[in-house]
Amino acid sequence: MPKPFTKDDNRASEAGKKSKRRSLDAIFRERIEANGSLDNIMEVLESMAQGGDIQAIKELLDRTYGKAKQSIELGNADDNALKINITKTYE
């Protein structure tokens, strides 16, 4: 019978350990906020939306008011369906 794993076991996989590197989104967020380019990006996105760019409009509305709820119904036609609501909030 194999010996059970322990916390300091050198056989343990690296996959389960938390990375000590900063995440890519944290690095990008820091760079954007540090040099003031966030305001420039928002101005460009707003200009594109005002020019009729549907993707820019969608992005602004999703980020400002949140995405619309999405529903998935699984089951049959006898009202015993399983309903799943998926929502994501932005802070």
In whole angstroms, what is the distance from residue 40 CA to residue 53 CA?
A: 17
In whole angstroms, what is the distance from residue 19 CA to residue 10 CA?
A: 17
Stretch 46-75: mean pLDDT: 85
The residues with which 84 forms a beta bridge, in sequence order, are 72
Domain count, the chain: 1
pLDDT cut 90: percent of the chain above it: 18
**What pLDDT does residue 76 have?**
66
pLDDT tens for each residue of 18-54: 666 778 888 888 888 888 788 888 899 999 999 999 9
64: in domain: yes
How far is CA 80 from each of CA 69, 73, 84, rounded to the nearest angstrom?
21, 10, 13
Structural domain span for residue 39: 22-86
77: in domain: yes
60: in domain: yes
